[in-house]
Amino acid sequence: MVMAPMLRIPLPGARCLGHLYRTPARPIKHNVDNSSLQSKLSQARPYSATLSKPQRELLDRTRNIGIIAHIDAGKTTTTERMLFYSGFTRRIGDVDEGSTVTDFLPAERARGITIQSAAITFHWPPEGTEVHQNPQGSSLPRSANSHTINLIDTPGHADFTFEVMRSLRILDGAVCILDGVAGVEAQTEKVWHQASTYQIPRVIYVNKLDRDGAAFGRTVREVSSRLAVYPAVCQIPWFQGGDGPFMLSTFRAFDGREGDDGRAVKMMNLEQLQSEEPALAEEVRRARIALVELLSEQDESIVERFFECDEDHLAVSPADIVDSLRRCVLNPSTRIVPVFAGASFRNMGVQPLLDAVVNLLPSPPEAPDPEVSIGGVKGGLRGLLSGDLIVEQSEKVSSPAKGKKKRKSASLSDPKEAIAKLQSCALAFKVVNDAKRGVLVYVRVYSGSLDRNSLLFNTNLHLSERAPRLLKMYANDAVEVDSIPAGHIGVVVGLKHARTGDTLVSYAGNKATPPEPLTSLQLRPIDVPPPVFFTSVEPDSLSEEKRMQESLSFLLREDPSLHVSVDEESGQTLLSGMGELHLEIARDRLINDLKAKASMGRIEIGYRESGLGASNAITKIFDNEIAGRRGKAGCTASVEPADGKDVTDLADEHTILAETIDGNQIIIRAPGLQVESAAQDDESGHILPPNMDVTTFRTALQNGALAALARGPQFTFPMHNTRVRLTLNPAEHLFGGDTTPSALSSAARQATAAALQDLLSGPGTAMMEPVMNVIISVDEASLGSVVHDISSSRGGHILSLDEEIPISATDAVGSDLVEEPLPPIDPKRVYAPPDPFESASVGADIPASASTPRTITAKVPLKEMVGYLKHLRSLTAGRGTFVMSVDRFENMSAPRQKAVLSELRGGF
Ligand SMILES: Nc1nc2c(ncn2[C@@H]2O[C@H](COP(=O)(O)OP(=O)(O)OP(=O)(O)O)[C@@H](O)[C@H]2O)c(=O)[nH]1
């Protein structure tokens, strides 16, 4: 069918130049200081000025991008086409046949969903496409020359939010794929907002436009109303004589015929199109006028071009439009997002999308400055390396007490000197066990150059490892390299400890650890959300135990959002994670891929326990033999509910640790203890036990408290929202050489466990359950029944209808980065081509019909959401979808606690 032509109402307020919607600047704590170190520091810039011309060109022609989308929107199908057109694969893989390159884990193939981010490097346009001069003399688009594209395929399932965040943070740009039938769905909104927290420049690709019910125009309007950005329509899908879509760019027309592999395309200019398809040519003109109008609201240069072209929109050249679009995409305050169209499955739209990736998304030096935290200060990496972000002198406490007098130690180095020693920093974003090559750690290098054999200090684990081999990965293929420069992605082989999400730094000098504060440098740090489901894991026989534990520790390196603990009483190994599917996948990985001979129990909700008041302070002295060696140490502990106060506000000058770990706060004080080496000459002070540094001392006590918190005194669930105060009085609790780390740990564990037990004779404890932030997308017709079901049958609390998706505590992982909600955009002001079933008038109200999408936001106990998808589908004739993330753990009422406990006991 041919879509009816339409009239377009020009956008009001055109050419009011871009200062309307500026987003607030990110909070960056920095003191500018023009020290003499400036020149030294500038050598450490992420993209050094000393790069040779070919190196600089290589970097400018690199795109580190990811694909973000709702599950089933077509990420894998689109990726497969990208690999095919780039010449990377000879045949097109098919998700439905299980023959794709990117979903390479057997579990992914079996389920047809993408679980882990696979990083693949390919070239677009294919290598050898080098055009240096345009015969017509006009400027060439970037896509005339071959670029290196590092594609990170991000997971689409809600259970993998954390992994989405982990892969998002290494992207310089992203393609957001929408399903042209479903439009903007709840999960798209969620991942869109997550990408916004890192200010990742994006383009949108509306896929599946060949399907019945696909509506490009409606989807474009949803982009404006639900994602709060201005869609810049760059292509129009057109149905020619019912033969299938006829794709068209607004700059040049081309015709992709169904049935072939899409490599042969017929290019037309507007004049040719006018003679072949006049109605389409008319729509293209409207789209192009709308695009120039939209860009001129935000970009002064295009306004100048427009006036140079005698105010003729159509005379503004495609090259100028692309340049303007690029400027807008790279500047998030414009809120302009280019929208492309396609049907990847029919091989249509993928090549123009690849051109858009090259032409519109940033190269590494153009990407937003990555957030770092170092020595308790946050800011941008470029600011840190240029000396603009000043890191204060390191302190003896891990979380500095605010406003307290700081003490310097002669052993601590000057932070600026230390930062000048930084040779490279990189983020490990994925750990994979490769059957042939062993454990592969995928890294994104942010500054300097990661060289073969360099010593890498892991700032999360506080240990150093050498990088014996470096690889450049091409899906399942690898090329050995000597170094991975800043802006590039590669693989380190041979690391024994690095986990997904760890920051790795290399530094000048031959010390075992880098100078402070480099030891605390974190690239785009994220918090791991609390696990809400758990299951037991049992080896098939005693002899399989070791193998199972090794496989579990590998799984944890791969995915640190999984947790392993051992139940002290039963001795059972418990594995916990973010969702049922998360644990099912972990089971598949453990048993099928890692070949552990083990079985898993039922997947259950991870309840927690919390104190209803404060305990007394209880002192324990541990005095026993551990592994044949005498150990003696003491400690005093008390517990109380963490009442929402920031733990660092509770630290004083005697505090040696104040941290929130796994939802509990741990504060350790050691009044009168001298922990700095310089102070050991001071005879009046108590010193650390021999051969023990402050980190070991702190960690031993912390581990003791954590072990006790793993088991609540009444219900045996892990403690949550609990503050443990440990006090170590050196005169009474330290016993010279007898005070070993394990003795300290045991003393802390016994004292904390006793304080928890003490709660039972006092205020008591309560069970807590995970409450989810749930966002449900339904159509108008099912709204009533879904709302009723949530609020009456599931004990949920409806928060809003059709509002901006709130970012929950666990989504807002780098919470400093979360922006204010953007002002809404009126979809009637947005240009969108008409859909086949629409009337010709654009700008008129879209009638509210039963199929109008509605969004319900609610808080619902997790227990009531188990198996909800099936129920939602039955309430909504299969159309409803939802996403959820942990909002918080809440105390349960006594009757609910009783009901859940009896259900749990009955279940065993
Ligand atoms: N009709 C049609 N179907 C498509 C198109 N693109 C993808 N599909 C189908 O949609 C389904 C999902 O596609 P995938 O590529 O696996 O989607 P995905 O987003 O990678 O899914 P996850 O990996 O599970 O997140 C498959 O059955 C595809 O064949 C398209 O353009 N048109």
CATH of the domain at 515: 2.40.30.10
Output the CA torsion 392→394→397→398 (10° steps): 90
| Residues 212, 115 share a domain | yes
Q: How far apart are CA 389 and CA 786, in angstroms?
A: 50
Residue 131 inside a domain? The answer is yes
pLDDT at 566: 81
- Cis peptide preceding 125, ω within 30 of 0: yes
Same domain, 167 and 203: yes
- Name the closest-CA residue to atom 21, ligand 1: 72
The answer to whether residues 902 and 759 belong to one domain is no
CATH label of the domain that carries residue 695: 3.30.230.10
Give the residue from 352, 181, 357, 325 showing the smallest Cα distance to 255: 352
744 shares a domain with 779? no
Task: List the chain residues with pLDDT less than 70.
Answer: 1-50, 88-118, 128-139, 153, 155-162, 240-267, 390-415, 474-477, 527, 569, 675-685, 803-822, 836-853, 906-908
Domain annotation covers residue 26: no
Residue 304's H or E segment, with its range, is helix 300-308
Distance between Cα 360 and ligand 1 center (Å) = 25
Q: Is 94 annotated as a binding residue?
A: no
Residues paired with 563 in a beta bridge:
576
Looking at residue 513, its pLDDT comes to 78
Residue 36 included in any domain: no
Domain count, the chain: 5
Residues 375 and 485 in one domain: yes
Which regions of 548-692 does DSSP assign to beta strands (E)? 563-566, 573-577, 598-600, 604-605, 608-611, 618-626, 629-641, 655-661, 664-669, 673-674, 686-687
Ligand 1 center to 391 CA (angstroms): 47
- 463 domain residue, yes or no: yes
Note whether 516 and 558 are same-domain residues: no
For residue 16, being part of any structural domain is answered with no
Give residue 235 CA to ligand 1 midpoint distance, Å. Answer: 21
459 in a labelled binding site: no
Q: Which residues pair with 722 in a beta bridge?
A: 641
Which of residues 550, 573, 605 is at a domain's end? 605
Contacts of 368 (CB under 8 A, 6+ apart): 172, 198, 199, 200, 201, 332
Strand pairing category for 230-233 and 336-341: parallel
Identify whether 818 is part of a domain.
Answer: yes
Q: What is the pLDDT of residue 245?
A: 52
How confident is the model at residue 5, as a pLDDT? 26
Listed residue (201, 216, 153) closest to 349, CA to CA: 216
Closest ligand 1 atom to residue 94 Cα is 29
207 assigned binding-site residue: yes
Residues with CB under 6 A from ligand 1: 69, 71-77, 95-96, 112-114, 156, 207-208, 210-211, 343-346
β-sheet bridge partners, residue 626: 629
Ligand 1 centre and the CA of 385: distance in Å? 43
Prediction pTM value: 0.74
69 is in an annotated binding site: yes
User: Which of residues 706, 739, 763 is at a domain's end?
Assistant: 763
Reported as a single tens digit per residue, the pLDDT across 385-395 is: 887 776 654 44
Give the pLDDT score at 747: 95
Do both 75 and 166 map to the same domain?
yes
The verdict on residue 574 lying in a domain is yes
Q: Under 8 Å CB-to-CB from 750, ≥6 apart: which residues?
A: 620, 622, 635, 704, 708
State which residues form the domain around 652: 613-763
CA of 481 to the centre of ligand 1 (A): 35
**Same domain membership, residue 773 and residue 758:** no
Residue 497 lies in a domain: yes
Distance in angstroms (rounded) separating the CA atoms of residues 387 and 486: 18
CATH number at residue 546: 3.30.70.870
Tell me: do 274 and 335 sit in the same domain: yes
If you take atom 9 of ligand 1, which residue's CA is the nearest one? 74
Residue 695: enclosing H or E segment and its boundaries? Answer: helix 694-709
Identify whether residues 540 and 504 lie together within a single domain: no
In a shared domain, residues 376 and 476: yes
Mutate to test the pocket of ligand 1, among 72, 247, 881 (most ligand atoms within 8 A of CB): 72
User: Final residue of a domain: which of 705, 738, 763?
Assistant: 763
162 & 311 share domain: yes
